[in-house]
Structure 1
Amino acid sequence: MVETPAAAPFYAQGNFAPVDLEVFQEHLRVEGSVPPELDGLYLRNGPNPLDHDFTRHWFVGDGMLHGVDLSGGAARWYRNRYVQTDRLADKRGGKVAPDAHRLGRSEANTNVIAHAGRILALVEDAVPTEVAPTLRTVGAYDFNGRLATPCTAHPVICPLTGELHFFGYSAREPVVTYHVADQAGELIRSVEIAVGAPTMMHGFAITARKAVFMDLPVVADDSLLTTGIPFRWADDYGARVGLIDRGALEDSVRWFEVDPCYVFHPLNAYEDHDGSTVVDVVRYDDFWRGGPGTKGIEPAYLHRWRIDADGQVSEERRDDRTIEFPRGDPRYIGLPYRFGYAIRTDETGSGIGSRTMITYDVVSGRSSEFSFEEGTILSEFVLVPASADAAEGEGWLVGYAYSSRNDTSALVIMDAERIEKGPVARVWLPQRVPQGFHGNWIPRQAIGA
């Protein structure tokens, strides 16, 4: 365990602290049975500051990928590797990174996705960084020179078209640009979107016909540059949700005012049978008053906006439990759906994770949950469908879990339809996986690994 000073921020303590070793181990020990239909890689990204500099916010640590290869009912290997970015190279060379921002200078620490045969490590202030299935860094990827803005860490892949929908935001003009890449990975459309000021726009959503943007009151503040996250809550900014046709060639967003709030992560959005647009999000009542904090994250709740055909907006809290890291069945992104999954966040004091997982049935309003052993902290879990034509929610929830009792981590696999029964398998790893951000299941055929 990395030693940290007294009164250190939460992201320097316990399983938030970085690990120092890059490890590769084959033939991992499995408790239970790995479902044989799981054939691919589970990859997850997160901050792991090489220099152990905890004066800057947790969100800006150097990106490290943690991956497990599953095939034939076995866990073939675990590997963790830094994403070899220019910023990391500067640190290893003892250089101080220049103030001038370049789109290729990235910490690549927030998410990792696969699209059009490429694996991309993402952070929202730079272009993607391509990595190989072995987690070796290939280099900055700008869609063959066509991407001239940052790329959100939360692109959305449409299950109907295979298109990659994403955006970039910046403190400079253009502040927000909406992009679409086709199924083959060619950037086919970029549309500048006008907003009131540089806002921290972390995620967005799509429906079958629209993209959903959130213009919310966490705005840029240069006085906070030393934190690495120069944003703060602004009471006078207001909040609104915007809808634009996915095929738009110019800014034609229709904006709808909502109560002031902040959202990192939508769960899903869709167009209902009555013509309304439904947007389910994890909503903070406010966030970062005075700037980014070091004591944890504010509570957030499952929330629904419904924008009717006449433009009237209704708002509803769907649950009183605090949660984060919402995910759903990837085959239902942008479509009417039933099931969502999230991690409770009110048991660790950080607001980042706990030992309890929740399944939501957003149609009936019912939910179920499962709590792991004391001392367990969960990371984000993703749903892997049992097959291409399986019913919604039929499949496996996969993610990392840390145990403070033995200071180690496991890749946990759960039956998504029966989470109350607990894990069907735990793949024990050779070292702990620090709390991080986002990852995905990457089927072997998607990358030819």
Structure 2
Amino acid sequence: MTAKPFLTGHYEPVADELTATELTVDGALPPELTGRLIRNSHNPKPGVTPTHWFKGSGMVHGIRLRDGRAEWYRNRWVRTPALDGAPYLTEHGPDLTASTAGTHVIEHAGRLLALCEANFPFELTADLDTVGAYDFDGKLRSAMTAHPKTDPVTGELHFFGSSPFPPYLVHHVADADGQLVHSAEVPGATASLKHDFAITRNHVVFVEGTVTFDPAEHSGIPYSWQDAQPARIGVMPRGPQGAEAIRWYPIEPGNMLHVANAYEDAAGRIVLEGPTVDREGFRLSWNWWVGAPGRGSEPNTRSYNRRWTVDPATGRVDERVIDDLATEFPTLNEDFLGVEHRYQYAISFPDQHGYGGYGIVKYDRSTGERRIHQAGDARLPSEAVFVPAAGATREDDGYLLTVVSDLKQDASQLLVLDASGLDRIATVHLPRRVTGGIHGSWIPDSDLR
């Protein structure tokens, strides 16, 4: 096995596909958890060594729960042209179907979509087989972000396509029935890397950091930290003419991959929150992602939760780091997406000196309390997905679902935690150690076609 860090340890690829049924459960699975946890991962085929972690082909892992039982686990490669070596760049330009499809999995209007931000989404069946590239009946002409946002009130799906070449940024909206109803170029955008964004009740919020297109970067992901690239937040009113009224606000240099949430406060200011890295943090993560010599650290070791408060009346942005714990993969109860939330969750990582460990973190934004469920020695949890409890009356009344990679046992488990106190409710033992991965979703049975 190659020494590339993203192909070793927790991230060692799975070599095959399998299906296992009637999984062993410790504790009691809540019967209301009826659906599928589906999680994506970068998982190149045996014998393939990508030049960058992000270039690894997508493999989805699914766990089916019903009536207090864990019915099955299965894993499948997303069968895109890129899985068989098709290039992204061709003599006719980018091939938007040549996707790794390895970043995220979502459901919208009954469709399961595996996502990678440089390409079209790929539709999957409920059993995780690949249907094919999906372009919203020919209406989608750009790539689709791996982090679309579903408005919990309207059911609309907001997403964007970004490119290192004009048009740099296009905003899209699909209605609750899955029809693409709006596409508009966003003026003033640049070639800055845009991986995630936010929506509020009244605005769409974009983030341009200090990482931007660099044709001299040959890892296959042509971006690098460049001091000349200004960092900015773009605030755009929602609606058909919103792009014409976007305003860009300068912020401190940095790079944010994932948004926790955004909302308008009582004073009409836009509050945005999420983990960010500085120049050194980006360098450490990038060196791990490409397997550079002397990397020395894991990714996310200088990733700290940051809050921006944008005041449209004054044009000023208040910006502050609000925690000194290295975290990534923020999540929340998505019923509160776009409005002020009290609780958010994240995964903690060791810092650049190796201190600290992996865990599931809960923040109480009202009291400032931080609670951590320690994962344990050599145990890496995946992004913690929040599932509301039946008849929930509180924001944190629900469950957190996370898949843990356990190196010492060479095994993985699905942990079901009480989202209120982070206590363990149940453990589902999986038939193999699942590759450390990126993002996923809980898909209730009622949401599938």
- Do the structures match in fold with TM over 0.5? yes
3-state SS of the aligned residue for 1:266? coil
Which residue in the other structure is 2:337 paired with? 333
Q: Where does residue 435 of structure 2 map in the other structure?
A: 434
Alignment-mate amino acid for residue 308 of structure 1: D
Residue 39 of structure 2: aligned partner: 44
Amino acid at match of 1:167: F
Shift of the 10–394 alpha-carbon distance from structure 1 to 2, 3 Å rule, reads same
Q: Is this contact kept in 2: 1:356–1:372, CA < 8 A?
A: yes
Match status 1:133 vs 2:126: yes
- The 1:98/1:169 distance shift into structure 2, 3 A limit, reads closer
For the 8 Å contact 1:307–1:313, the answer to whether it is kept is yes
- Cα pair 2:89 2:95 within 8 Å, conserved: no
Letter of the aligned partner of 2:299 in structure 1? I
Q: Where does residue 299 of structure 2 map in the other structure?
A: 297
Identify unmatched segments of 5+ residues in structure 1.
none
Identify the residue that residue 169 of structure 2 maps to in structure 1: 176
Q: Which residue does 1:109 correspond to in 2?
A: 102
The structure-2 alpha-carbon separation of the partners of 1:195 and 1:49, relative to structure 1 and needing over 3 Å to count, comes to farther
Aligned-residue offset at 1:326 = 0.3
Residue 224, structure 1, aligned to residue 217, structure 2? yes
The SS at the match of 2:216 is helix
Q: Does 1:191 align with 2:191?
A: no
- Provide the C-alpha distance between the structure 2 equivalents of 1:396 and 1:188, rounded to a whole number of angstroms: 34
Residue ranges of structure 2 left out of the alignment (5+ in a row): none
1:357 aligns with 2:360: yes
Describe the shift of the 1:354–1:68 C-alpha distance in structure 2 as closer, same or farther (beyond 3 A): farther
Whether the aligned pair in 2 keeps the contact of 1:232 and 1:291 (CA below 8 Å) is no
The question of whether the paired residues in 1 share the 8 Å contact of 2:88 and 2:96 is answered with no
Of residues 314, 318, 324, the one that matches 1:320 is: 324
Deviations 1:310-351 (A, max 9, x none): 222101111110100000001000011100000111169899
Number of aligned residues: 435
The aligned residue for residue 241 of structure 1 is: 233
- After superposing the two structures, state which structure 1 stretch, 11-20 or 109-118, moved more: 11-20
Cα distance in 1 for residues equivalent to 2:391 and 2:132: 32
Select the residue among 335, 347, 352 that pairs with 1:343: 347
Q: Once the 2 structures are TM-superposed, how far is the Cα of residue 378 of structure 1 from its aligned partner?
A: 1.0
Quote the sequence identity (%): 38
Superposition map of 1:278-427 within 5 A: 278-286=271-279, 288-289=282-283, 292-293=286-287, 294=291, 295=295, 296-298=298-300, 299-310=302-313, 311-346=315-350, 354-387=357-390, 389-419=392-422, 421=423, 423-427=424-428
Q: What RMSD, in angstroms, separates the aligned Cα atoms of the two structures?
A: 2.0
User: Letter of the aligned partner of 1:61 in structure 2?
Assistant: G
Q: Which has the larger displacement, 300-309 or 127-136?
A: 300-309
State the 1:103 CA deviation: 1.2
Which residue of structure 1 aligns with residue 138 of structure 2? 145
Aligned residue number for residue 85 of structure 1: 80
Post-superposition CA distance 1:47-104 (Å, at most 9, x none): 001144335111110000000000100000000000010111x34xxx7676442112
Distance change >3 Å, CA 301–CA 52, structure 1 → 2:
farther
Structure 2 counterpart of 1:200, from 193, 200, 217 = 193
SS for the counterpart of 1:251 is: helix
C-alpha distance in structure 1 between counterparts of 2:285 and 2:192, whole Å: 13
Tell me the distance in 2 between the aligned counterparts of 1:87 and 1:314. Answer: 43
Name the CA distance, whole Å, in 2 between partners of 1:215 and 1:32: 45
Q: In 2 relative to 1, CA 341–253 (structure 1 residues): closer, same or farther, beyond 3 Å?
A: same
CA contact (8 A) 1:163 1:180 kept: yes
Partner of residue 67, structure 2: 72
TM-score (normalised: structure 1): 0.93
Counterparts of 2:247 and 2:47, CA distance in 1:
44
1:63 partner letter:
G
Q: CA deviation at 1:400?
A: 0.4
Letter in 2 for 1:21: D
Deviates more, 1:401-410 or 1:150-159: 401-410
**Residue aligning to 1:26:** 21
- Mean CA deviation greater in 365-374 or 29-38: 365-374
Q: CA deviation at 1:404?
A: 1.4
Structure 2 SS opposite 1:380: coil
